Amino acid sequence: MLRLKSLRFSALTVALGYIAVSVIVLLLFAAPIQYAWHEIVEERSTERLREDAHRLENVLRRDGPDALKAVIDTMVEAQPVDDEKFILLANPSLARVVGNLPAWPRDIPAASGTYTRSFDLNGRSVQAIFIRTTLPDGYNLVVGRNTAKFQTVETLFWVGLIGAATSVLVFGVLGGLLIRSALLSEIQEISQTAAAIVAGDLSRRLPRRGGANELDILAHTVNRMLEQIELLIQGIRNVSNSIAHDLRTPLTELRARLEELTVTRPPLEETFTEIDIAVADVDRVIAIFNALLRLAEIDNGARRSGFIPVDIAKVASDAVEFYQPLAELRGISLGFDVTGDAGECIAAGDPLLLAQAIGNLIDNALKYAPHKIRVFVRTAQQSEHAVTITVSDDGPGIPDQEKIKVVERFYRSDASRGTPGVGLGLSLVAAVTKLHGGSLILSDADPGLNATMVISQRPI
Amino acid sequence: MKILIIEDNERVARFLKKGLAEVGYTTDHADNGRDGMFLAVSETYDAIIMDRMLPGGIDGLGIIVALRKDGNQTPILILSALSEVDDRILGLKSGGDDYLVKPFSFGELLARLDAILRRSQELHADSTLTLGDLCMDRLTHKVTRGEKTVMLQPREFKLLEYLMRHANQVVTRTMLLENVWDYHFDPQTNVVDVHISKLRQKIDAGSATQLLRTIRNAGYMLTNDA
């Protein structure tokens, strides 16, 4: 369940990530607007105030204080106090001369300049921009504009932004939760199936919805993998059963023989004979083990590191020579042929294993052939660079339905029940050819069997 | 003959000691690598039988490498449960003289032990091998039994040569497979027996003394003794 936990975590992380990204996008959107607002509205209104202050200063310079007072009065009449615009003219001691403010605001600094701040107006705090100018003859002028009106818009802007961010958050979390639960329900099915497989039910397969979404593709791949695993497990199971069976037989005989000795206590000479047979029984068990170990050694492919250039024709003719006396003894003609350029019979391989494989094929043929066995080594003329070694006999052959089975470990056809062997010979041949990048092909020779090892001639 | 057995399995060691005592060899036994190494360098032995995997800090191969580095040429027979071809090659490359896979029969072990003991005694083989009235010229490949010339195939010659070099010694089927054919596997049918009987026909046919004898449960021996 650890996997599900981490998945839950990951689904949530993704949702949170999306939310964070959305908020960033929102901010990126809002920042220029905020900037433009500031630039256009605030800067422009400050500009207007500066112009006003400048104009009034000019009036004073040109027409004197009385004219200025008259102009300000006119402006104040049009702009009663409490409204958007403030204006106040004060004498050098900062006493009110004319304007729509009751007194010189205490918060205004002594120096000329532009100030944005809140100040106390008739007992209430007002957010405003002020421009303070010191006029000739010691007069002081302040013009200002209430920014509270803009503030509403600005507040609306921020409220809108936060609202948008909140809805992104809410929908993001909801979406994340929905995706997570949808994903979880699908994964849960997969995980349950996997758990059942772990528990031993190899026939289970992941559910598929027939679509082409990611999980379906994954399920398909995993199912194929499961099929392969089931096949392999089946194979191992068969082999273990066969091993158990094939070892049990000699072990049973051995046990019976030894137990019989202790029970009956026969004369010494007879005892030794029995012990000799018991040792032979043990040797049979050892032989089976050795064959299995050799197969395992070949199967893991490590032997390929020891590949050297091998003259296949030489290996095959040596094997033929080795079995020749046995064939003669049984009245079977054992022949050997090389077709194609003999010099091209070189392939990368393990001479020991190839000799054993060819030996096994000849040995098999000797068990069944009534008259003759021929061993051909051919360098293939096809596009593929390959050497084939064919051992053909004129025996009863192998029926088509058994051709695949005879290569299986421990398989013994009905026809071979009476002959010695443990049913690993052809398995070894198949494993050796596979190791050499080829395959073992069994075909009918009419009459008899052609067993062909295809060995790839790839460079080492 | 004095043999050092380095083997940690008590039962196997006892089996070896008993068996070797039976054929008149004296034995020393060490049940770990350290003691084995100590005995091997401090005493003189005719041969060492050594298990590959040993307790005591140093394993069989380690001992062999150390001994050979030291100039010690005592013949060594390696015993091992590691049966892969590469394991055998590694064992022989390290300086072992022969490699026997467990489980083994005592006959096989004794035959191989005798072979490596003999090898160390006769480093320079003569060009002519003789046993009774059987004579082999290794240069001209001519073989005679008494007055009669024996015609042999190249492989039969190699087989007889091996038997003659190990005359009066048991050689097993496996030893013949490995040394005459260079086959390190067990053919399912006992083809070696057929080769031997063919060779026997050629060299023993018509003679009063049978030189090539079958030793039950062990192998063959080429001998002139009665």
Least CB-CB distance to A326: which of B86, B189, B217? B189
Provide the pLDDT for residue A6.
52
In contact, A364 and A321? CB cutoff 8 Å: no
Q: What percent of chain A has pLDDT over 90?
A: 2
Q: DSSP letter at B181?
A: I
Provide the pLDDT for residue A341.
61
Complex confidence, ipTM = 0.77
Measured distance CA(A184)–CA(A9) in Å, rounded:
11
Q: How far is A194 from chain B (nearest CA, A)?
A: 38
pLDDT band at A83 (very low <50, low <70, confident <90, very high): low
- Residue B184 touches partner A, C-beta closer than 8 Å: yes
Q: What angle do CA A145, A151, A155 make, to 5 degrees?
A: 175
- Residue B179 touches partner A, C-beta closer than 8 Å: no
Q: Pick A242 or A228 by higher pLDDT.
A: A228
Average pLDDT, chain A: 80
- Residue A321 touches partner B, C-beta closer than 8 Å: yes
- Residue A229 touches partner B, C-beta closer than 8 Å: no
Q: What is the pTM of this model?
A: 0.61
Q: Pick A103 or B42 by higher pLDDT.
A: B42
Provide the pLDDT for residue A216.
82
Q: How far is A259 from chain B (nearest CA, A)?
A: 22
In contact, A145 and A45? CB cutoff 8 Å: yes
Q: Please tell me which of A96-100, A232-236, A278-282, B154-158 the model is most confident about, judged by mean pLDDT.
A: B154-158
Closest chain B residue to A298, measured at CA: B84
Question: What stretches of A265-416 show up as alpha helix (H) in DSSP?
Answer: 268-299, 312-329, 351-368, 400-403
Question: What stretches of A79-111 show up as alpha helix (H) in DSSP?
Answer: none
The three-state secondary structure class of A103 is coil
Check A297 against B188: CB less than 8 A apart: no
Measured distance CA(B162)–CA(B156) in Å, rounded:
10
Q: How far is B182 from chain A (nearest CA, A)?
A: 8
Measured distance CA(B185)–CA(B21) in Å, rounded:
31
Provide the pLDDT for residue B124.
54
Closest chain A residue to B192, measured at CA: A322
Interface probe, candidates B108, B183, B188, B200, chain A, greatest A C-beta count within 10 A: B188
Burial A175-209 (b: 16+ CB within 10 A, else e): ebeeebeebeebbeebbebbeebeeeebebbbeee
pLDDT at A246 over 80: no
The three-state secondary structure class of A115 is strand
* Lowest pLDDT segment from A149-153, A193-197, A287-291, A449-453: A149-153
Provide the pLDDT for residue B121.
64
pLDDT band at A175 (very low <50, low <70, confident <90, very high): confident
Rounded average pLDDT over B6-21: 91
Measured distance CA(A197)–CA(A208) in Å, rounded:
16
* Token representation of residue A20: 């964070």
Burial A236-262 (b: 16+ CB within 10 A, else e): eeebeebbeebbeebeeebeeeeeeee
* Token representation of residue A256: 């019976």
Provide the pLDDT for residue B16.
92
pLDDT band at A81 (very low <50, low <70, confident <90, very high): low
Rounded average pLDDT over B62-83: 90
pLDDT band at A439 (very low <50, low <70, confident <90, very high): confident
Strands A346-349 and A308-311: antiparallel
A336-359 pLDDT, tens digit each: 888 776 556 788 888 888 898 999
In contact, B218 and A279? CB cutoff 8 Å: no
* Lowest pLDDT segment from A22-31, A449-458, B82-91, B117-126: B117-126
pLDDT at A138 over 70: yes
* Lowest pLDDT segment from A398-402, B106-110, B172-176, B199-203: A398-402
Q: What is the DSSP string of A282-314?
A: HHHHHHHHHHHHHHHHHHT-GGGGG-EEEEHHH
B163-209 pLDDT, tens digit each: 998 888 889 998 999 889 988 887 877 899 999 999 999 988 888 88
The amino acid at residue B39 is: L
pLDDT band at A2 (very low <50, low <70, confident <90, very high): very low
Spell out the domains of chain A, with CATH numbers in brackets: 11-155 (3.30.450), 214-299 (1.10.287.130), 302-456 (3.30.565.10)
Measured distance CA(B128)–CA(B122) in Å, rounded:
13
Measured distance CA(B52)–CA(B80) in Å, rounded:
5
pLDDT band at A302 (very low <50, low <70, confident <90, very high): low
Q: Give the contacts of A170 (CB within 8 A, at least 6 positions apart).
A: none
